[in-house]
Amino acid sequence: MSQLKSSLRAIGVAMITIIACVATSWYVWSVLTFHGASDSDIVEIVQTQASSSHRVAILVRRSDHRALSGDTYFVFVNDRSYSVQELRKSLYSLRPIFKAGRDGITLRWTGPNELTIECQACGITKDLIETQIFSKDGVGVRYFGFP
Give the three-state DSSP class for 31. Answer: helix
Least confident range from 26-35, 53-62, 100-109: namely 26-35
**Residue spans per domain, the chain:** 1-34, 42-144
**Residue 31 predicted with pLDDT over 60:** no
Res. 101: pLDDT tops 70: yes
pLDDT of 67 above 70: no
- The pTM of this model reads 0.71
Angle at 141 between CA 123 and CA 56, to 5 degrees: 100
